A and B are shown apart, each in its own frame.
Chain A
């Protein structure tokens, strides 16, 4: 595949992740990053600290540790001074942006070898105070004082998504409006629970995951109601964790490893900070969609993530992808909520807008050969979150997008078994995968596409 770009070719040559946990009180952020970094360098004799030209370091919120310019302390701890560095922050997409910042440093020729490192230590405050810090990433004049709560914002989005596509779809024939909406929400909740079961179940084979477990749809539906209709098991949690990636140019990639992975596409998109300001316009079309598919649809409103569509379109174009279903082997997708995983299938063109729920029911995003406790006829079509995603792995914000990069890298190297001690999650012959990182209510999204760089 020939990417449409003038940039230098960029390869990922290694990565490392700490186990994500509710709290790592024995490690501060510097030590967590150091552990992930040491893991990444292990086994690559030629890749020493001297070979790294500079760094990009990401964490989301200064509030969580009340240490400003904390990235400088990571730079110190890794012994990287006086090399160039910059802190990357872009809400929930912080890790994905850091991955792309490291990509850009190499693609532009400014660096030959760039370290991307990210972390978050969210355990330093109580959970509901942490929710407050996250909600401060919403408009503090108009949104936050109403109850500033991200789960509430995503609940508003999925209630409308269910209205657009299930009330007006499968339940279009129900005459009583309120009854039709209740039925649609119950159906949407059931299908969101399938996603939660999938991600928790996959994570049973991922030793880095925070909450691996075997759940039933009933377990998910009966878990605590957080913001109607989203229940606890449909939502990711606060975590402590760190992840690093090392990207470099082609000559060095060949020197460092016989299993490099190439970054063949990067894309980003944005949308309004306030949900209330999202426009009611037309859908930017994927190559396999037609304008007539969406005659009746006001887009994005609050039901879909325009930023995700924009990021996907840019990354696909650069990578030469016209049909993600056949040209991608898996996606590590930012499932902060089971709802946003379903909404994102549509944004990324894995199915048309409105088909996300059927896509889950058909089993397309499930892994083949795993017993989820319900039928998944098309399992393996395009596995989404084979690692377990944010819902099961945790979401230490500044590390999350880089963690996805590391898991995708191991998938494409075919080394899942070595790193996980279990081959179950290895997607056979994975050649190309995408990582997707998403900031609050879809105000920013990144998509990066990775491809196996060896025979």
Chain B
């Protein structure tokens, strides 16, 4: 028979014990005891980019593609593509975006979701392009917090070893 797991009054100690042995008892200030167990979960999704696929295939070829409304009276250009126009609902066509733009806004993340903690600090930036009606969210590399400002000219860089992810493109200060 298994022994009763150890008891802790600090929840932090409970968490450490779960990492070590998978079970612990937490005793709260009123003396109530709760059994706490480690409960792992992981899954590999079969994720289709579906109608967004040409964008991600484009990145792998070193092309930054947006979408443009096909309706002659609209012709709205989206930096982050969508297969139907948000303004009028008509289908869009693929267009090449400029590979140079400006910072519309920016931040430096010193923390992040668990999946990205090891990459901190990293910069996030919203890029604006001439002649394009919406923005693109991206990482900004080769620059630190004190270099960055709204309006800063930037240019796109493509990953020579694409992972078929939005991270296949990033921006750097324009040289």
Contacts and interface: CB of A to CB of B under 8 A. Distances in A.
A147 B124 contact: yes
A159 B150 contact: yes
Residue from the set A148, A167, A277 with the largest chain B CB neighbour count within 10 Å: A277
A149 B78 contact: no
Interface stretch (B89-97, B106-114, B154-162): B106-114
A142 B124 CA distance: 12
A160 B107 CA distance: 10
A111 interface: no
B124 A156 contact: yes
A302 interface: yes
A223 B41 CA distance: 33
A437 to B, nearest CB: 23
Of A126, A153, A156, the most chain B CB neighbours within 10 A belong to: A156
A145 B108 contact: no
Nearest to B30: A26
B133 interface: yes
Interface string A6-47: 000000000000000011011000000000000000000000
A181 B80 contact: no
B165 A145 contact: yes
A66 interface: yes
A145 B106 contact: no
Contacts of A141: 49, 52, 56, 166
Contacts, number: 151
B105 A163 contact: yes
Which of the listed residues A66, A126, A160 has the most CB atoms from chain B within 10 Å of its own CB?
Answer: A160
Contact of B166 (A22, A146, A227, A229): A146
Interface stretch (A79-87, A128-136, A261-269): A128-136
B143 to A, nearest CB: 12
A177 B151 CA distance: 9
Given A177-B149, A178-B149, A276-B136, A147 B112 contact: yes
A411 interface: no
B164 to A, nearest CB: 10
Contacts of A66: 39, 41
B112 A149 contact: yes
Given A66-B41, A156-B124, A147 B109 contact: yes
B84 interface: no
A181 B150 contact: yes
Interface string B56-89: 1000000000000000000000111010001000
Contacts of B133: 279-280
A275 interface: yes
B113 A227 contact: no
B7 interface: no
A142 B81 CA distance: 10
A280 B120 CA distance: 31
Interface string B98-138: 00000011111111111111010010111000000111111
Interface in A122-166: 123, 126, 128-129, 131-132, 135, 140-143, 145-149, 151-153, 155-157, 159-160, 163
B112 A143 contact: no
A454 interface: no
B124 to A, nearest CB: 5
Contacts of A157: 105
A178 B173 CA distance: 14
A362 interface: no
B33 to A, nearest CB: 8
A181 B116 CA distance: 28
Contacts of B125: 156
A181 B166 CA distance: 29
B124 A146 contact: yes
B6 to A, nearest CB: 15
B139 A146 contact: yes
Given A141-B49, A149-B124, A178-B149, 16 more contacts: A23-B11, A25-B14, A25-B34, A26-B30, A128-B112, A143-B166, A146-B139, A149-B116, A151-B109, A152-B109, A153-B124, A160-B105, A160-B150, A163-B150, A228-B110, A302-B135
23 contacts: A25-B34, A26-B28, A128-B114, A131-B112, A140-B47, A143-B137, A146-B139, A147-B112, A147-B139, A152-B109, A155-B107, A159-B105, A160-B104, A181-B149, A226-B110, A227-B108, A227-B124, A228-B109, A228-B110, A276-B80, A276-B126, A277-B82, A278-B134
Interface of B: 11, 14-15, 26, 28, 30, 32, 34, 36, 39, 41, 47, 49, 52, 56, 78-80, 82, 86, 104-117, 119, 122, 124-126, 133-139, 145, 149-151, 165-167
Interface of A: 22-23, 25-26, 66, 123, 126, 128-129, 131-132, 135, 140-143, 145-149, 151-153, 155-157, 159-160, 163, 167, 177-178, 181, 224-229, 272, 274-280, 301-302
Which 7 pairs from chain A and chain B are nearest by CB?
A132-B113, A155-B107, A160-B105, A276-B135, A128-B114, A228-B108, A149-B112
